[in-house]
Amino acid sequence: MALNKAYSQYRENSIYTSSPEELTLMLYNGLVKYVMQSIAAIEENDLQKAHNSIVRSEDIIQEFIVSLDMKYDVSQNLLLIYDFMYRQLIDANIKKDKETLEVVLSFAKDLRDTWSQAMKLAKLQQPRQQQAVTK
């Protein structure tokens, strides 16, 4: 019991101290996790667990949608991807369709991996930018 409380406190602290970029990565990781849980629940014929995991996935997608800054061109493309994924999740939830969830999982992993790579590239760029400013 105490271990669960300590872990919960750790997770809460990590959320409050994370940068926006890290929070986005956490959301992508959560999306991947919940879609994978949905697939596993369907395979186990646990329809309630599948439903709950799909709804959590939908919530994450909705958070991505509302947080888009539409002044950037890439946001319009992301909106289309998120909308597609959201509609697929709804369809998968209605039909409890594992194959549809696997399509969403593929998109979620690609987006997560792309975001992770962009974060790494941005960190590499920071020292160069700081050197240019100090010269």
Q: Is the pLDDT of residue 8 over 80?
A: no
Separation between Cα atoms, residue 94 and residue 32, nearest integer Å: 20
Structural domain that includes position 25: 2-134
Number of domains observed in the structure of the chain: 1
**pLDDT at residue 18, as a whole number:** 84
Q: What is the mean pLDDT of residues 99-114?
A: 98
- pTM for this structure? 0.84
Give the domain CATH number at 99.
1.20.120.340
Give the distance from CA 59 to its chain's centroid: 10
Question: Could you read off the pLDDT of 29-75 as tens digits, one per residue?
Answer: 999 999 999 999 999 999 999 999 999 999 999 999 999 999 999 99
Residue 55 near residue 47 (C-beta atoms within 8 A): no
**Mean of the per-residue pLDDT values for the chain?**
90
**pLDDT at residue 78, as a whole number:** 98
**pLDDT at residue 17, as a whole number:** 75
Q: What is the mean pLDDT of residues 106-116?
A: 98
Where b means 16+ CB within 10 Å and e means fewer, 26-41 reads ebbebbbebbbbbbeb
Separation between Cα atoms, residue 132 and residue 6, nearest integer Å: 43
